[in-house]
Amino acid sequence: MKLTLPENYSPTLSVLETQDAIKYIRDTFQREFAAEMNLSRVSAPLFVTKASGLNDNLNGIERPVSFDIQEIPDERIEVVQSLAKWKRYALKKYDFPVHRGLYTNMNAIRRDELLDNLHSIYVDQWDWEKVIAKTERTEEVLESTVRLIFKVIKHMEHEVWYKYPQAVCRLADDVFFIDSQELEDLYPDLSPKQRENKITREKKCVFIKRIGWPLEASGRPHDGRAPDYDDWNLNGDLLFWLPSLQCALEISSMGIRVDEESIAAQCRQSNCEGRLTFPYHRMILNRELPYTIGGGIGQSRLCMLLLNKAHIGEVQASIWPEEMIRQCEAANIPLL
């Protein structure tokens, strides 16, 4: 268990006021986000079959929650870890045109998550995906999409300030872009998380590009990425500085998705070419799925950021170790 306890922490909103603010932020953000991004809301699965290959393997070591069902005894069912692959399949199935997309409320269970102020076994986020042309698989399109998402989040700061002026967190005025290799070159003696904190403390909002390929000095990626959804040359993480914890807070992981060439190269790099036999992966190799850009935006994390909370348990109901609950109570951090 890892836990940061800020000195003299005093929530500016009561638990009931916080609950009202959570609903306000979630309702307002998804409405404005969908309008800006040209997205339609769809229903999404809580679980998929293992054989479909649609579940997100994350770093490849996290164990999905799985079970069988009485009516299909020979099939293993897995609770989704994210909807990165399902969304792209849904865009084809629902016949979305170019420059239109979808979003959904995604709920997941990550049983192997290491719990701390920012991480919970319960994941709630807006998963989104949008059809693009193959010629739009560019860094310029990625950055313009990031700026659009930043614009919506920045506008939410003003919305929250109007309703909860005593609680709102002041955000950066712009987003700073940097390549993960450039970041390692700047701070070669720091760990990836230390680099994130260093650059985000300075810039307040940062998008770190190209996550997945090994870096030159360390020989390891900046962070783990599954090889079969993001194109590692066209992806990244959006980070904001969180004053309450004095650290970088990842709000979104996103990217232009793999095409027929990058999925094969990344699966080779990750020693998991066996995945290329799954139905979903064969559809990409055969150019049967649309080219897309997509990602996830943490719902609880966005509430945490805009309200400057010190623990994600202040804005979501989850399960925590008894010792963490005890320490949070002593530090005036009210977990839901």
The residues annotated with a catalytic role in the active site are 56, 110, 125, 237, 250, 253
* CA 199, chain centre distance (Å): 19
Pairing of strands 72-79, 66-69: antiparallel
- The encoded tokens of residue 282 equal 């064969």
Amino acid identity, position 129 = E
Pairing of strands 205-209, 230-242: antiparallel
Burial label for 239, CB within 10 Å (0-12, 13-18, 19+), is buried
**Cβ proximity of 131 and 327 under 8 Å:** no
Number of helices (H), then strands (E), belonging to the chain: the values are: 9, 11
**Cβ proximity of 115 and 324 under 8 Å:** yes
